[in-house]
Amino acid sequence: MFFLLKTVLSGLLIALISTIARRFPALGALVASLPLISVFGMLWLWQETHDAEKMEAHVSATFFYVIPSLPMFLLIPWLMRQNIPFYPALLIGCVVTVVLYLATIWLARRAGYSL
């Protein structure tokens, strides 16, 4: 039952963002940029575990994974301005993000931090 509630609320949030963005792109972007999914994830994790150690690890890792995802939001519009269609630009942005995630994991391990 709790999984169904999580699914519905998360889906509603995504639907709300896309609906807002259709009429007001900047406002949709603002709502999408809010760490609402992260907050939902923290709420669901805490509700299910009440484990402070897991929460600390989750929140810390989220911070480190947000950083390599940021270039995608500059790369996709730049690619589209270069006349690359949306879907290929999105794919390139996602591939670059995955490469940056892997680099982040590698760098974190070299620094003694486990993600």
Summarize pLDDT for 59-99 with one digit per residue, the tens. Answer: 999 999 999 999 999 999 999 999 999 999 999 999 999 99
Residue 90: both structure tokens together: 């999105």
Containing structural domain, residue 18: 1-50
Both 58 and 23 in a single domain?
A: no
- Same domain for 115 and 70: yes
Nearest alpha carbon to residue 90 among 100, 80, 102, 82: 80
| pLDDT at residue 55 tops 90 | yes
Residues 58 and 25 in one domain: no
Q: Check: pTM over 0.85? Answer yes or no.
A: no
Q: Which of 7, 30, 5 is nearest to 17 (CA)?
A: 30
Say what the pLDDT of residue 9 is.
87
In our burial notation (b when 16+ CB lie closer than 10 A, e otherwise), range 63-87 reads eebeebbeebeebbeebeeeeeeee
- The total number of structural domains in the chain stands at 2
